[in-house]
Amino acid sequence: MKKFTSITDVNDLKSLLSIAQELKSNPFKNKLLGENKTLGLLFFNPSLRTRLSTQKAAMNLGMNVIVMNLNNDGWAIEFGDGTVMNQGTQEHIKEAAGVVSQYCDIIGIRTFASLTNKADDYQDSVLTNFIKHSTVPVISLESATLHPLQSLADLITIAEHKIIDKPKVVLTWAPHPRALPQSVSNSFIEWVKQTDVDLTITHPEGYELNEEFTQGVEISYDQEKAFENADFIYAKNWSCYRDYGKTLNNLDHWVVSEEKMKLTNNAKFMHCLPIRRNVVATDQVLDAPSSLVLEQANNRTFAAQAVLLKMLRDED
């Protein structure tokens, strides 16, 4: 595996899921595989789970890890081709990626959506440019449009907790005070579509996601109706795709509450975290035994470890 940026980089999803599950039961089995190998983690924005779980995954495989917050600690990077660099940017991605490739055997990079330039975001130009100029495998730690390590961890979590063969999974939009990217939702949809689940998306009118992802998926503007018979409720806020990066007002009633969870088939509650309590979901929902949010975060380690293992072994 030379890059891990979306489901399209995964050759055999079933096998990747079972590798992750095996690693969860025996995390130190491949302790010598990563000896003398270095993982570099580069962040353009904040992170708790991705940063720590990916480091832990690498350490479980015996790797060394170096981490850098590019926004605060690095030179401002130029991505444009042929730019006369006499303004704010201090070094070009060509040198930056080339240099980091010499220090690291695998690079993880987190970028973030601008939410102002749709074309640029949906080309994932920062990540794509980084891959273009790197000479080692690259893992997306969340890009402007996708969050594949999160989705892999989510699929592990669903597999562990489903009690019927084809569960009903509902991705519900939920309120948030700031405009957030569509990446977690886009990614969740494209990964879940590859598994045997009955997927419904529910969101207020105006929050339609990119049809490239939602094609073929049932979409409802009626959250309560969508919750009926659900086995998993996956909550996430995202900003508008059509009116790119915008948010709409007066939608606080879309919060996931205990009352709404009662409409489901004893559904498990999922969220990628970080979550704003009593805005996205209530305390009661998050503190209930049916909440899987910590388990999802736990599975981030084994998702990352499975991907690192494939890259270290140079397997597809």
Q: How many residues bind ligand CP (CB under 6 A)?
A: 10
Does residue 270 belong to the site contacting ligand AN0 (CB under 6 A)?
no
**Amino acid letter, 225:** K
180 binds, among ligand AN0, ligand CP, none (CB under 5 to 8 A by kind): ligand AN0
**Exposed / middle / buried, residue 316 (Cβ in 10 Å: 0-12, 13-18, 19+):** exposed
Q: Which of 151, 79, 141 is nearest to 106 (CA)?
A: 141
Tell me, rounded to whole angstroms, the distance of Cα 129 from its chain centroid.
19
Of 10, 23, 63, 180, which one interacts with ligand AN0 (CB under 6 A)? 180
| Range 225-244 burial, b when 16+ CB lie within 10 A, else e | ebbeebbbbbbbbbbbbeeb
CB nearer to ligand CP: give 251 or 273: 273
Which DSSP string do the residues of 48-87 spell out, in sequence order? SHHHHHHHHHHHHTT-EEEEEEHHHHSPPEE-STT----S
3-state DSSP of 227-254:
HCCCCEEEEECCCCCCCCCCCCCCCHHH
CB atoms within 10 A of CB 112: 18
CB nearer to ligand CP: give 78 or 154: 154
Does residue 272 belong to the site contacting ligand AN0 (CB under 6 A)?
yes
Question: Mapping DSSP to helix (H, G, I), strand (E, B) and coil, where does residue 93 land?
Answer: helix
Does residue 172 belong to the site contacting ligand AN0 (CB under 6 A)?
no
Return d(Cα 192, Cα 196) in angstroms, integer. 8
Does residue 184 belong to the site contacting ligand AN0 (CB under 6 A)?
yes
Of 50, 134, 223, 237, which one interacts with ligand CP (CB under 6 A)? 50
Of 12, 32, 48, 116, which one interacts with ligand CP (CB under 6 A)? 48
Q: What are residue 77's DSSP bridge partners?
A: 91
Contact range with ligand AN0 by CB under 6 A, out of 95-103, 176-184, 211-219, 246-254: 176-184
Restricting to residues 145-204, name those near ligand CP by CB under 6 A: 150
Of 49, 92, 260, 268, which one interacts with ligand CP (CB under 6 A)? 49
183 binds, among ligand CP, ligand AN0, none (CB under 5 to 8 A by kind): ligand AN0
293 binds, among ligand CP, ligand AN0, none (CB under 5 to 8 A by kind): none
Restricting to residues 36-95, name those near ligand AN0 by CB under 6 A: none
Q: Report the interface residues with ligand AN0, using CB under 6 A.
A: 142, 180-181, 183-184, 272, 274
